[in-house]
């Protein structure tokens, strides 16, 4: 049963399409400005995540940077939602990748089964939006060379993903605060 204010998947898809259509209809100069803001968010979050990852001596800090870029969205709320999905997908994919590495690592059939189970698990948990990310994390766990035990690798990857998402959230929040203050000043005048 839906509650007042709940939206269906179809309604969310329609709203996203409407927003995309609105951005496409903007004049080139305004589209470039929006793209510039998005670039600042993505580069800021990725750079911050990479630097912190390097300072923490994670094995492959670039995963934190990639995650920050992957979850950065136009609005802070959308970045929050995608960060949550990324984190859940990383947990499901990491657990699946860990199981695949421990009980069947090195075989294509084991890899394929692990990715399929991660995707199905996300859908079964009613978080289908995290399914793709769970499959990606399981793929990284099983196919990207890394040193250490499977548990160590899973925990490091989860840490790198979490770091990337947190950095993206921080930069996105900061940009939204700056935009809000700038718009407030623009409305009230100098």
Cβ–Cβ under 8 Å, residues 150 and 101: yes
* pLDDT one-digit tens code per residue, 11-22: 767 766 776 667
Instruction: Using alpha carbons, list the distances in angstroms from residue 100 to 60, 120, 133.
Output: 21, 15, 16
Measure the CA–CA gap between 34 and 31, rounded to whole angstroms: 5
Q: What are phi and psi of 149, to 5 degrees?
A: -75, 155
Per-residue confidence band for 53, with pLDDT thresholds at 50, 70 and 90: very high
Segment 22-42 mean pLDDT: 83
| pLDDT class of 61 with cuts at 50, 70, 90 | very high
- Look at residue 62 in the predicted model and tell me its pLDDT: 93
What is the spatial distance between Cα 77 and Cα 83, in angstroms, rounded to a whole number? 10
Calculate ∠ Cα 26-29-35, nearest 5°: 80
Top pLDDT among 20 and 103 is at 103
Query: How large is the average pLDDT for residues 78-96?
Result: 87
Q: Residue 9 above 80 pLDDT?
A: no
The arithmetic mean of pLDDT across residues 28-45, rounded, is: 89
Alpha helix (H) ranges present in 56-130? 62-71, 76-104, 108-124
190/28: higher pLDDT: 28
Residue 4 has a pLDDT of 53
Going by pLDDT thresholds of 50, 70 and 90, the confidence category of residue 69 is: very high
Please tell me the distance from the alpha carbon of residue 187 to that of residue 190, in angstroms, as a whole number: 9
- Higher-scoring residue by pLDDT: 144, 21: 144
Write the pLDDT tens digit of every residue in 148-173.
888 888 888 888 989 999 999 999 99
Tokens 């990324």 belong to: 86
Q: What proportion of the chain, given as a percentage, has pLDDT over 70?
A: 88
Q: What is the mean pLDDT of the chain?
A: 84
């Amino acid at each position: 049963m839906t509650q007042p204010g709940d939206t269906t998947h179809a309604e969310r898809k329609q709203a996203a399409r409407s927003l995309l259509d609105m951005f496409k209809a903007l004049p080139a100069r305004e589209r470039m400005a929006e793209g510039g803001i998005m670039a600042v968010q993505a580069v800021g979050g990725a750079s911050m995540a990479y630097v912190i990852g390097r300072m923490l001596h994670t094995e492959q800090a670039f995963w934190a940077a990639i995650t920050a870029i992957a979850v950065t969205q136009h609005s802070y709320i959308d970045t929050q939602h995608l960060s949550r999905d990324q984190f859940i997908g990383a947990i499901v994919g990491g657990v699946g990748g860990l199981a695949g590495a421990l009980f069947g690592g090195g075989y294509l059939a084991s890899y394929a089964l692990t990715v399929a189970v991660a995707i199905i698990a996300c859908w079964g948990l009613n978080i289908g939006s995290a399914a793709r990310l769970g499959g990606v994390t399981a793929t990284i766990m099983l196919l990207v060379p890394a040193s250490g035990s499977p548990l160590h690798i899973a925990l490091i990857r989860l840490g790198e993903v979490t770091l990337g998402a947190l950095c993206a959230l921080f930069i996105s929040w900061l940009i939204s605060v700056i935009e809000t203050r700038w718009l407030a000043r623009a409305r009230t005048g100098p």
